[in-house]
Structure 1
Amino acid sequence: MKKVNTVKLLVSLFGSTALLVACGTESSQSGSTSEVESSESNNEKLQIVTTFYPMYDFTKNVVQDTADVSLLIPAGTEPHDFEPSAKMVADIENADVFIYNSDDMETWVPSVLENIKDSETVIVNASEGIDFIHNEELEEHDHEEDHEEYHVHAIDPHVWLDPVLAQTEVLTIQAGLIEADPDNVDLYEANAEVYIQKLDNLNQEFEKAFEGAENRTFVTQHAAFAYLAQQYDLTQIAISGLSPELEPSPAKLAELSVFAKENNVNHIYFEDNASSKIAETLATEVGVELAVLSPIEGITQEDQDLGIDYIQLMKNNLESLKKSIN
């Protein structure tokens, strides 16, 4: 596939909203597969590199079999701390399109892009144009006998966990694909329309499930669900902050224990891709059950072979949240 000049893509939220309305009225509720065929003028498939699973799944749903899509970060690897190998950087440089979530999620991306700035790879920042949530984290440091605490203001990058913002990311990905491969504009638009309708159906499932719920608070080890909570008027109480491995102080755990007991919290959530030790400690202290709430940062090949995807994992999260939101 012949490559074009690097671009940075921006889909305005206004434009995204207009297209989403059109998708909601024109798409089939069943989300049937598009019959639009790929341009026969292309002798080679588009080569696309994506960073982690949501970016891969969103992209695959837009291109279907028209392009070769690779996943850079393997399942079981924490995307926050990932560092690409020299071969991976070369793969990005040689790709037609490189798709990632944000500079705040894949913190290594800016340096990679600086090193390949002369490449013709089309760069797609899928969260471009989205208003990020700023999360205030409490970090703790021991210095001999002194114990210091200070607050860090961090940008929360977990926008894909909101089914509505996921639609915006899909539209941005679609725009990047069209920039790289304009001959297949009809295919990309049709496939994106079908997938966005599926995401909108998912959004409606969340809305219906939480409609009228009196208890709208959930306690989770990893503060990854602020966008989801914001979308559905829920309250996320996080044990560890944006980093799932950040250890809370004994005072913080004691405070959370009191909160959980006073607010009849019946489940503590942990993620499936990190240690559950912190959540287990709090659950034992409070005397409640543990449940999984996945940030969907990775998926095993076995799960993919079983047909499990982003939408199914989000539905699993919904069923898990119903244990607390009622």
Structure 2
Amino acid sequence: MSRSKNLLVALCLVWTSILAACSGEAPQEEAGDQLKIYASVYPLADFAEKIGGKHADVTLLVPPGVEPHDFEPTPKDLTRLSRADVFLYNGIGFEAWIGQAKEILDPERTVIADASASLKPLYSGSNGSREADPHVWLDPIRAKKMAEAIRDALIKADPDHASDYRTNFEKLSRRFDELDRTFREISNKAEKREFVVSHAAFSYLADRYGLHQIAISGLSPSDEPGPKELKAVIEAAKRHRVKVIFFDSLVPGNMAKTVKEEVGAEALVLNSLEGLKPREAETGEDYFSIMEKNAENLGKALGSTD
């Protein structure tokens, strides 16, 4: 671990001790009867809320509107995390700060679950710089596997309510299956298989339904293409007669605007669900409502709907 990371962990431990002394209460007592669950990315928090129900107090570490690729937890964030009964993270390289988090977690107290551990990663990028795509949740069937891992973590942490967690998961499982049917119908009716996105977050969705994403930027929205790569994207979009360019909801997508203007395409949102905008959180949007909007917009781009 680097010197700066050692310092951050040390500060976190000191801060935890101070807070515990001031409160006069043990962390477990503060949690009450609910499981204190912390999640590293929005879909995991949403699934945990739906599976945990009344037994869960779920906290998403990344605030609404913040681009998760750029997020780094503060010492205060890590202090709060140290009190968790369950910590859920995505894995596949999405959270660069996971090592710091694990340093301050006690595995005797906290169930630590890598929600994508059972899934085989897909890779994006050129042969010279291929990276594992962490956006597993954008495929409803793989997302269901992540939810299974969350269910198992909650049962391990709180076996007394295992029956409730299993029941809630079964309800959630049916919603994943329904979402899968929606995307399959769109895929079956599609006039084309290609879609252009502002960044390469949709490998799993494309893989599940036999589609092909043409990505303007890399796995992180900040990975902008050079002139040669941008020209290749524009040529591919024209060759496939693309009529829609998809933007992500959390990033500006300046390069995508350039492609849109060059191709003469319509701009729509294909939400990578890395997080919610504040307005989306306020209005009660969730994984399923946003994925349904994704399906509608994808259908327009593929010629599946009018």
TM above 0.5? yes
Give the letter aligned to residue 160 of structure 1.
W
Moved over 6 A (4+): none
Contact 2:116 2:146 in 1 (8 A): yes
Greater shift, 226-235 or 256-265, is seen at 256-265
Q: Does 1:213 align with 2:190?
A: yes
Q: What is the match of residue 72 of structure 2?
A: 83
The 1:303–1:119 alpha-carbon spacing in structure 2 relative to 1, beyond 3 Å, is same
Q: What is the match of residue 27 of structure 1?
A: none
Unaligned runs of 5+ in 1: 1-41, 139-150
Q: In 1, Cα distance between the equivalents of 2:71 and 2:108? A: 22
Partner-residue secondary structure (3-state), 1:324 = helix
Partner-residue secondary structure (3-state), 2:199 = coil
The 1:188–1:267 alpha-carbon spacing in structure 2 relative to 1, beyond 3 Å, is same
Aligned residues: 273
Contact 1:134 1:154 in 2 (8 A): yes
Contact 2:92 2:121 in 1 (8 A): no
CA RMSD of aligned residues (A): 1.7
- Structure-1-length-normalised TM-score: 0.80
**Aligned counterpart in structure 1 of residue 102 of structure 2, from 104, 109, 113:** 113
Q: Does 1:68 align with 2:57?
A: yes
Contact 1:267 1:291 in 2 (8 A): yes
The 1:287–1:300 alpha-carbon spacing in structure 2 relative to 1, beyond 3 Å, is closer
The 1:43–1:82 alpha-carbon spacing in structure 2 relative to 1, beyond 3 Å, is closer
Greater shift, 154-163 or 316-325, is seen at 316-325
**Aligned counterpart in structure 2 of residue 285 of structure 1, from 245, 249, 262:** 262
Give the letter aligned to residue 124 of structure 2.
N
Shift of 1:205: 0.7
Partner-residue secondary structure (3-state), 2:82 = helix
Contact 2:38 2:81 in 1 (8 A): yes
Give the letter aligned to residue 224 of structure 2.
E
Q: In 1, Cα distance between the equivalents of 2:173 and 2:107? A: 34
Q: What is the match of residue 230 of structure 1?
A: 207
Q: What is the match of residue 97 of structure 1?
A: 86
Shift of 1:112: 2.0
Q: Which one has a larger percent helix, Structure 1 or Structure 2? A: 2
Measured against aligned partners, the alpha-carbon deviations of 1:63-88 in whole angstroms (never above 9, x if no partner) come to 11212111110112121221101111
1:153-164 map, 5 Å: 153-164=130-141
Give the letter aligned to residue 208 of structure 1.
E
Contact 1:217 1:236 in 2 (8 A): yes
**Aligned counterpart in structure 1 of residue 121 of structure 2, from 120, 123, 132:** 132
Q: What is the match of residue 33 of structure 2?
A: 44
Q: In 1, Cα distance between the equivalents of 2:32 and 2:237? A: 60
Unaligned runs of 5+ in 2: 1-30
The higher relative CO (CA closer than 8 Å, separation ≥ 6) is in 1
Partner-residue secondary structure (3-state), 2:137 = helix
Q: What is the match of residue 252 of structure 2?
A: 275
Q: What is the match of residue 9 of structure 2?
A: none
Q: What is the match of residue 231 of structure 2?
A: 254
Measured against aligned partners, the alpha-carbon deviations of 1:270-294 in whole angstroms (never above 9, x if no partner) come to 1010012110011111111111111
Shift of 1:155: 0.9
Q: In 2, Cα distance between the equivalents of 1:300 and 1:64? A: 23
Shift of 1:52: 2.0
Shift of 1:124: 1.0
- Identical residues among aligned pairs (%): 39
Partner-residue secondary structure (3-state), 2:130 = strand
Contact 2:92 2:116 in 1 (8 A): no
1:21-60 map, 5 Å: 44-60=33-49
- Structure-2-length-normalised TM-score: 0.85
Contact 1:46 1:181 in 2 (8 A): yes
Q: What is the match of residue 27 of structure 2?
A: none
Measured against aligned partners, the alpha-carbon deviations of 1:85-132 in whole angstroms (never above 9, x if no partner) come to 111111121111111111511121123203435662110111111000
The 1:119–1:108 alpha-carbon spacing in structure 2 relative to 1, beyond 3 Å, is farther
Contact 1:137 1:242 in 2 (8 A): no
